[in-house]
Amino acid sequence: MISGYDIQEIDKPLADDFLKRHHYLAQQGHGFLGKVEYGLFTSDNRFVGVVVFAGISVIETLIGAFEGFERFSDQSGFWELTRLAMDDNNKEKNLTSWFVARAIKKLRAEHYVRAIISYADSQYHNGYIYQALSFKYYGLAPAKNDFFEGGYATFGEVA
């Protein structure tokens, strides 16, 4: 059983700093959209994980994922898990899924949540954490070519 950890809402600069050191997309210079960021801390206050949630960035995401959802439907309560990263030095079994499950529980307690979606970038991983959390699989999305860089949306190939 996992114990000795605390999950706290953190500010975006702290999440950004951790992601720059521990998330695979940071090496490509991709920023992230975030509205709520949670950090995972050990009992001795080491920062070992971050999960970031944001509102849905593109309405087509909801239209494609939820049958009957229309362009002008109410989008409140729909969230995207936009980033997840763990310190590679912390190898406790099942810690990532434990953390995400509890972060989702906190998100639900503190905000209106109808659904949470996320993407597994198959170039880097297969979404095993999402599978462990019983996320539903809806298939492959088109290749992403829009990114959030330096406070602005960018489109096209990003080197």
Segment holding 8, helix H or strand E: strand 5-10
- Give per-residue pLDDT as tens, 133-147: 777 776 665 565 555
* 107 has a pLDDT exceeding 80: yes
Domains of the chain: 5-152 (3.40.630.30)
Nearest to 121 by CA among 14, 54, 30: 30
pTM: 0.78
Q: What are phi and psi of 149, to 5 degrees?
A: -125, 120
Q: Taking residues 74-86, what's their average pLDDT? A: 89
- Give per-residue pLDDT as tens, 20-42: 888 766 665 556 667 899 999 99
Which residues touch 19 (CB under 8 Å, ≥6 apart)? 26, 32, 50, 52, 83, 85
Q: Taking residues 74-85, what's their average pLDDT? A: 88
